[in-house]
Chain A
Amino acid sequence: MSLQILINALVNAALIAPPAMAFSLLFGILRFPNFAIGGYITVGAFAAYTLNVPLGLPLPLATAGAMAFTGLVVWLAHVLVFKPMEGQSAVTLLVVSIAVTLILESVIRLFYSADVRGFDIPLQRPYRIGEMRITKEQIEIIVLAVAMGTGLHLLLRYTRIGRAMRAVADNPMLASIRGVDAARVTTFTTVLCGAIFGLTGVFAGLDLVIEPLVGWNLTIPIFAAAILGGIGSPYGAILGAIVLGLAEELTILVLPSTYKIGVGFVIIAVLLLVRPQGLFGTVEIKK
């Protein structure tokens, strides 16, 4: 196995890990697999593109703006779509979340067409270390993903709101009995996760291309990483993303790269058969 495969796997994992953590956090709080994440990521990519290319803002500022805008969109989707449907089954909400993705993508297609776009950043040769090559953007993605993972860890472990997020995800009724305002925790979580999806949109624009399906194409790998790590476990999602990234890159050694996306489906299928609770999930025993 060449070092290049490891680097590619790391970049893949860095692209998938933050949204997989956010997906798990959202699942913990809202109790359904939210497939609208594809649409949210696409919104993030196009928001950053709009700020960076037509409006001419530098990419770091455009990224911050895209994170804030996507946070707002995710919060609005929660308030206007998912909150009014509280009490519906997880399957119903899952289907509705797919509809939200389709609506967001259609709106983007209406304004931006289906053309492929990119950020206004100077073209640079990749860095070479022996046989290994890595671009400046890929290094930025890895560094930012590690910073995001560390930041989330610190937030969840050492802050009051982080403890409340874990408590509401663990036992929402008891959290309420102990005086936690679950609605405020949900609002904070949706905006935070929205910002992470916005950042993922920027990552996707840097490593892939910006087009209306950019988020949808990442949805299955993100979902696979989240259930690989144990759905609802943000830390497991990081490990799930690393395993998935490596598995996808190793697939290229034996199959054409077009089959890469199938790896996520295979992992989901195998896990559901062998260990449905994922690597870090726990089995819930019902009395």
Chain B
Amino acid sequence: MPEPILSVAGLRSGYGRTVICDDISLSVAAGRITCIIGPNGAGKSTLLKTIAGVIRPMAGSVRVGGVEIAGELAAQVARSGMAYVPQEANIFRALTTHENLAMGGWIDESRTKDARDKVYAMFPDLAPLAKVPAGNLSGGQRQMVAFGMALMLEPRVLLLDEPSAGLSPLMVAQMFETVRRVNSEGVAILMVEQNAVQGLKSAHEGIVMASGRIVLQKPAKDLLTSADVSELYLGSRT
């Protein structure tokens, strides 16, 4: 397995004094997709927020490319080569598509034009919507804007919190296709997904969380065929 680009060790976090996830250790290798599944309230989104610097960890380590970033604010984590796409409120509604993408490249605007052209090439549907306020776009288009914004700085690691949430079945298929396409360009992806079957089918590695802890870590295809996981988290058999 290639060297990990993202390593998390002994991470504990939560809100106030309430611990939501504890003793989390995982790694994502360069160019790989890892999908985290688990029931509601398992702490999946809290984990992603903590890695992204939105929530300060209570303990533990987060390393991107070997550099420690645990405890850094989100604005500083953005400079580490890791980009985070939240599940909700992941666009600037009052800003146009063009301006949203520019905000994605905020840290280094010298690259904005080239990066924006690449994003429009990846999501051709967005180009005609460049001057439309993002709040007026459909759910699928908004998700493309959110994705595009995160890709503006050509991150090495992408954190995706339920990228398929709220999308129509057709859009869900397109979204996972996009995830695979972004990954094929060498971007490591750590995603949380309620649509466990689709998420694991797109991933190389799978993680199952429950009650704030990691209970299983295996190749995604093994989780898909595991009888226990299938019964608990995947609904009917694949």
Number of contacts between A and B (CB, 8 Å)?
A: 64
A145-178 to B contact mask, C-beta < 8 Å, 1/0? 0000000000000001001101101110111111
Contact A167 B95 (CB under 8 A): yes
A180: interface (CB < 8 Å): yes
Contact residue among B53, B73, B91, B99 (Cβ-Cβ distance under 8 Å from A174): B91
Nearest CB of B to A154, in Å: 15
Contact residue among A160, A171, A173, A177 (Cβ-Cβ distance under 8 Å from B109): A160
CA distance A160 to B78 in the complex (A): 18
B24: interface (CB < 8 Å): no
Contact A170 B74 (CB under 8 A): no
- Answer whether A287 and B75 are a contact pair too, CB < 8 Å, given A166-B94, A282-B135: no
Instruction: Name which of B73, B79, B92, B104 has the most chain A CB atoms within 10 A of its CB.
Output: B92
Contact residue among A163, A176, A287 (Cβ-Cβ distance under 8 Å from B74): A176
B contact residues around A282 at 8 Å (CB): 135
CA distance A167 to B95 in the complex (A): 7
CA distance A167 to B75 in the complex (A): 14
B178-204 to A contact mask, C-beta < 8 Å, 1/0? 000000000000000000000000000
CA distance A160 to B106 in the complex (A): 9
B89: interface (CB < 8 Å): yes
Contacting residues of chain A (173-215) with chain B, CB-CB under 8 angstroms:
173-182
Q: How large is the interface on B (under 10, 10 to 19, 20 to 34, 35 or more residues)?
A: 20 to 34
B147: interface (CB < 8 Å): no
Contact B90 A174 (CB under 8 A): yes
Contact B107 A179 (CB under 8 A): yes
B229: interface (CB < 8 Å): no
Contact B79 A174 (CB under 8 A): no
- Answer whether A177 and B93 are a contact pair too, CB < 8 Å, given A167-B103, A287-B88: no
Instruction: Name which of B54, B74, B90, B99 has the most chain A CB atoms within 10 A of its CB.
Output: B74
Contact B75 A180 (CB under 8 A): yes
Contact B89 A177 (CB under 8 A): no
B70: interface (CB < 8 Å): no
B115: interface (CB < 8 Å): no
Contact B52 A177 (CB under 8 A): yes
Nearest CB of B to A263, in Å: 29
Contact B88 A178 (CB under 8 A): no
CA distance A162 to B174 in the complex (A): 35
A contact residues around B107 at 8 Å (CB): 178-179
Contact A178 B93 (CB under 8 A): no
B21: interface (CB < 8 Å): no
Number of residues of chain A lying within 8 A (CB) of chain B = 20
- Answer whether A177 and B95 are a contact pair too, CB < 8 Å, given A167-B103, A182-B75: no
Contact B135 A178 (CB under 8 A): no
The residue of chain B having its C-beta at the shortest distance from the C-beta of A182 within the complex is B75
- Answer whether A174 and B86 are a contact pair too, CB < 8 Å, given A163-B99, A167-B103: yes
Nearest CB of A to B102, in Å: 7
CA distance A25 to B52 in the complex (A): 28
Contact B75 A163 (CB under 8 A): no
CA distance A177 to B55 in the complex (A): 11
Nearest CB of B to A135, in Å: 39
B35: interface (CB < 8 Å): no
CA distance A166 to B93 in the complex (A): 10
- Answer whether A163 and B103 are a contact pair too, CB < 8 Å, given A176-B73, A178-B78, A182-B75: yes
Contacting residues of chain B (38-57) with chain A, CB-CB under 8 angstroms:
52-54
A contact residues around B86 at 8 Å (CB): 173-174, 177
Contact A166 B74 (CB under 8 A): no
Nearest CB of B to A189, in Å: 16
Contact residue among B79, B93, B99, B102 (Cβ-Cβ distance under 8 Å from A179): B79
Nearest CB of B to A123, in Å: 47
Contact residue among A163, A167, A169, A179 (Cβ-Cβ distance under 8 Å from B78): A179
A contact residues around B90 at 8 Å (CB): 174
B contact residues around A287 at 8 Å (CB): 88
Interface residues of A (CB under 8 A from B): 160, 163-164, 166-167, 169-171, 173-182, 282, 287
Q: Which 10 A-B pairs have the closest CB atoms?
A: A179-B78, A179-B107, A170-B92, A176-B74, A170-B94, A177-B74, A179-B106, A176-B75, A178-B106, A178-B103
Q: List 9 A-B contacts (CB under 8 A).
A: A166-B94, A169-B94, A170-B92, A170-B93, A171-B89, A175-B103, A176-B54, A177-B78, A177-B86
